[in-house]
Amino acid sequence: MDLFSLQTDGGWEKEGANMKVLITPRGFANYGLDQVERMKSKGLDVHYNATGKAYTHEEFKALAKDADAIIVGVDKMDKEMMEGCPNLKAVCKFGVGTDNIDLDYAKERNIHVGRCVGSNSRSVAEHVLSMMFMEAKNLYTSVRDVKQHGWNKPTGREIYGKKLGIIGFGMIGKYLAEYAYGCGMEIYAYDAFAIAEETARQYHAQISTLEDILTDCDYISLHVPLLDSTRNMISTEEFKKMKKDACLLNAARGGIVDEEALYEALKNQEIRSACFDVYSSEPPREDDKLLALDNFLLTPHTAARSMESEQRTCAMSTDIILEQLTGN
């Protein structure tokens, strides 16, 4: 793929000295063309990814070098990348997690970093709930077996009456609590910041400690950012505290769970299962040993991707960029 085709497909025509906005997430081509037109109507030169594929790092560097603002997905926005963008004034994450952006260097350069907080929270919470059902009802293995002309009838589990521990009680955690309560689960919530009693009551949750969630809950769902303090926060000692029948869910960030320790816990049946939407290396290697385990389920980082959340994220990221570049 050459740069000319990238530029043509994405509307890469230069309009005089207008400020440039580069959009790397493919969602804009499907769900955000109205927002592209909105930015253009404000005099911005907008370049969006209409290739249907993620940009390579080299393509991204070439396209970003004269951008004034970038709406970025998982593309790496480190110091080296930003040093190659002398005009850069704003970066907006197409989502929430900023672990792919060098925040310290952005602050040093006075580059505004925005996030689309809340735009995909319901989508992620629904995905986590669906993973719970998929695991409890053996949906993945049952569908796979029938397609391979099998007719096995594995016995599943009910989630009604089970204890769900939510680690990180932001909007995703709150929505998950709301959904799970509707399914008859008992909800326990922990956050590094104090949870108000009124908030816990509103979302039918009991305020708990990390220790109690690890030892008492049947399902444990992670909703924390990837920071130095949360990297590998679930590792060997934490797995030893969990019930042998526990299911661990992670739709937050790869790196929060020590994957080597997870492999040992699953292989040795220290816990029942794990359902993830994120991984430390995406996509994982073909020979990744966790993927060979039947009690480990992984989806390709799609929890945040629904038509509705993509539309909201396109609108919210556009709002942020317009505010930074045009003041409205």
Give the global pTM.
0.87
At the topology level of CATH, where does 121-298 sit? Rossmann fold (3.40.50)
Catalytic residue among 223, 253, 272, 312: 253
Pairing between β-strand 247-250 and β-strand 219-222 as defined by DSSP bridges:
parallel
282 catalytic? Reply is yes
Q: What single letter denotes the amino acid at residue 50?
A: A
**What is the predicted pLDDT for the residue at 40?**
96
80 catalytic? Reply is no
CA distance 22 to 288: 34
Tokens of 301: 């980082």
**What is the predicted pLDDT for the residue at 328?**
76
Domain 3-119+307-325 has CATH 3.40.50.300: no
Closest CA to 189 of 126, 127, 203: 203
Using one digit for the tens of pLDDT, what is the confidence trace for 222-236? 999 999 999 999 999
Closest CA to 132 of 177, 175, 174, 180: 180
Closest CA to 301 of 266, 233, 254: 254
Contacts of 182 (CB under 8 A, 6+ apart): none
**Average pLDDT along the chain:** 94
Using one digit for the tens of pLDDT, what is the confidence trace for 281-317? 999 999 999 999 999 999 999 999 999 999 999 999 9
**Do 247 and 220 form a contact (C-beta atoms < 8 A)?**
yes
127 catalytic? Reply is no
Domains 3-119+307-325 and 121-298 share a fold: yes
Q: Where are the alpha helices (DSSP H) in 208-279?
A: 210-216, 236-241, 259-267
**Do 67 and 85 form a contact (C-beta atoms < 8 A)?**
yes
pLDDT band at 18, cuts 50/70/90?
confident
Cis status, amide bond into 283, omega within 30 of 0:
yes
Strand (E) positions, 108-197?
Answer: 112-115, 163-167, 186-190
Catalytic residue among 15, 260, 282, 308: 282
Catalytic residue among 109, 204, 231, 301: 301
CA distance 64 to 23: 9
CA distance 136 to 197: 31
pLDDT band at 164, cuts 50/70/90?
very high
Where do the domains of the chain lie? 3-119+307-325, 121-298
